[in-house]
């Protein structure tokens, strides 16, 4: 008999299982409907031996020492700072937009005036957002904001989310800042590393506890209502758990065109964004992320699409007030009908978590139980 059934072997489910098993002596059954662990962070090797992220690029970064220390128990790390270029006016320009981007896209005199205005307003080294810049009294800064909005942000956002920026929560619009510096790193977190042997290897170590049993290709509908489980942690979509009784929660999904080229490298950085001209949003080259060199290179071309329940994978909850209100209705419905079931994770919480946030969510969930 198990003390816990955990549905989902991604970050939230695997970390909760490990802590319950190792620190609380609980017997845990982890199930996943897929044929692998690690959720969307799962990586594997293709027929050429190239390690790649099956569900698109996953770059680990955090400011949480607690999360970094916890995960370091299960993996060694390889230093990696993510850099992104975007195709803007037929040039590859660093994003987030920074002083280098400005110098590449404006003439020297105009670029210097923009940089001086940004420093005077925010201070060297600061970050601001496109939406804040659009409200500035300075005509120079508003002009910069409009340029970045039209050429970098608008097209990408519509392709990614199916909505314009004004229709989405600020949690989306604030994710890509404008930097008052030459810092071309995509993230500025204190801890920026990749698992040395990949994410799946880290999850294998995490779940390798005698109190944890893992069953893959197992549907939660066949297990969750079994009386032998004292507690259930469900990390999947809450609307699915409730049989879509109140209607489906909107998500965005993705499809990938995976290409292998007979050359050691294809692009100068791991990620190149295409905000305007193409139907896809970005191309990711995997060796930059894994650190492994081959005589071939693998790239993933990413196409956002609407999520169709039962047909596509729900990747991103769409942060919109109406959707969040529907999720709260599902929370109330689940609490009334399934008091022994706990919900946590990106899908269950209907939150756009980074990986470290999903890890922190699992850790805080366990703390609340103690």
Reported as a single tens digit per residue, the pLDDT across 158-206 is 999 998 888 887 777 676 789 999 999 999 999 999 999 999 999 999 9
The model's pTM: 0.95
The enclosing H or E element of 17 equals: helix 11-24
Q: Which residues contact 230 (CB under 8 A, 6 or more apart)?
A: 3, 4, 340
Core vs surface per residue 341-366: b (16+ CB within 10 A) or e: bbbbbbbbbbbbbbbbbbbbbbbebb
Q: What is the mean pLDDT of residues 336-361?
A: 95
pLDDT at position 225, please? 58
Strands 341-343 and 231-234: parallel
- 226 confidence band (pLDDT: 50, 70, 90): low
Domain limits, CATH 3.40.50.720, in the chain: 4-80+196-249+317-369
Fold of 4-80+196-249+317-369: Rossmann fold (3.40.50)
Over residues 18-53, the pLDDT tens digits come to 999 999 999 999 999 999 999 999 999 999 999 999
């Amino acid at each position: 008999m198990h003390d816990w059934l955990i549905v989902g072997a991604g970050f939230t489910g695997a970390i909760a299982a490990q802590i319950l098993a190792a620190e609380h002596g609980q017997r845990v059954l982890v199930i996943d409907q897929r044929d692998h662990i690690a959720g969307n962070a799962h990586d594997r090797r293709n027929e050429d031996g190239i390690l790649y992220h099956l569900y698109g690029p996953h770059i680990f970064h955090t400011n949480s020492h607690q999360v970094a220390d916890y995960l370091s128990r299960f993996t060694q790390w390889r230093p990696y700072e993510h850099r992104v270029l975007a195709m803007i006016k037929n040039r590859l320009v660093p994003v987030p937009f920074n002083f280098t981007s400005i110098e590449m896209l404006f003439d020297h005199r105009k670029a210097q005036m923009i940089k001086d205005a940004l420093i005077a307003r925010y201070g060297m080294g600061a970050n601001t957002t496109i939406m804040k810049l659009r409200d500035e009294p300075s005509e120079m800064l508003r002009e910069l904001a409009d340029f970045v909005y039209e050429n970098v942000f608008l097209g990408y956002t519509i392709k990614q989310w199916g909505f314009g920026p004004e229709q989405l929560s600020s949690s989306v619009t604030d994710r890509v800042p404008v930097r008052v510096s030459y810092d071309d790193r995509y993230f500025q977190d204190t801890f920026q590393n990749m698992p040395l042997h990949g994410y799946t290897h880290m999850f294998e170590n995490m779940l390798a506890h005698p109190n944890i049993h893992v069953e893959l290709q197992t549907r939660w509908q066949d297990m969750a209502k079994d009386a032998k489980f004292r507690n259930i942690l469900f990390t999947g979509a809450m609307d699915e758990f409730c049989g879509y009784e109140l209607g489906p929660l909107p998500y965005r999904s993705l499809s990938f065109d995976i290409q292998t080229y007979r050359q050691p490298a294809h692009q100068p950085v791991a990620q190149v964004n295409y905000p305007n001209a193409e139907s896809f949003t970005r191309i990711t080259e995997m060796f930059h992320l894994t650190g492994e060199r081959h005589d071939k290179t693998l790239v993933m071309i990413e196409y956002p699409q609407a999520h169709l329940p039962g047909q596509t994978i729900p990747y991103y909850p769409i942060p919109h007030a109406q959707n969040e209100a529907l999720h709260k209705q599902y929370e109330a419905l689940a609490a009334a009908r399934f008091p022994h079931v706990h919900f946590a994770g990106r899908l269950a919480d209907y939150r756009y978590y980074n990986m470290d946030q999903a890890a922190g969510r699992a850790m805080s969930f366990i703390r609340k139980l103690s």
